Amino acid sequence: MALERSYQAILQALHDAGIGLERGVNLFAGPLRPGKSLACFVQSTGGQVQWLLSHDAQTEIATAQVSVWSPQDQAQAGWEIAYEALHALHASQIGGYYLCKVREAEPTPIGRDDSGRNGYSFNVELHGLRT
């Protein structure tokens, strides 16, 4: 099975998770965009390729950052959605990758954006075999 683009796989998994994130409504690919409402962004942050000599194959580790931004009066709601998103992704199998791993135990507060929204982020690794 071919590997999907990592951010697409994450976007779809979050959309399907039933945690109130919907593609194109409050769930977007790419960098943070200005706004006043709660929103989640998935951005690729690169990755690595390693040879698995024993399998004569390459393993690909794609990395991405998921960030959730919420207005100050919904700060806790933002953290909760980030937490739900983290647990929806961690240890899952999505987009043809054999492992989706989240590096952090809980979302990390990353300050406020220009609109005053509070941000929480976590980092995702997608492990897959290149065929």
Query: Where along the sequence are the contacts to another protein (CB under 8 A)?
Result: 31-32, 43, 45-48, 63, 65, 67, 108, 110-111, 113, 119, 121, 123
Nearer to another protein, 18 or 31 (CB): 31
82 contacts 117 by C-beta, under 8 angstroms: no
Residue (43 or 93) nearer to another protein, CB: 43
Cβ contact 22:15 at 8 Å: yes
Please say which residue, 75 or 110, places its beta carbon nearer to another protein: 110
Minimum CB distance to another protein, residue 50 (Å): 8
- State in angstroms the smallest separation of the CB of 18 from another protein: 27
* C-alpha span between 55 and 34 (Å, rounded): 46
The least CB distance from residue 68 to another protein, in Å, is 13
C-beta of 62 vs 94, nearer to another protein: 62
Q: Which residue has the tokens 């390729």?
A: 49
Given the complex with another protein, which of 25 and 49 has the nearer CB atom? 49
Determine the Cα–Cα distance for residues 77 and 68; give it in Å rounded to an integer.
10
| HSE toward the beta carbon, residue 54, CA cutoff 13 A | 0
Q: How far is the CB of 1 from another protein (least distance, A)?
A: 25
Cα gap 26→81, rounded to integer Å: 11
C-alpha angle 119/114/36, rounded to 5°? 70
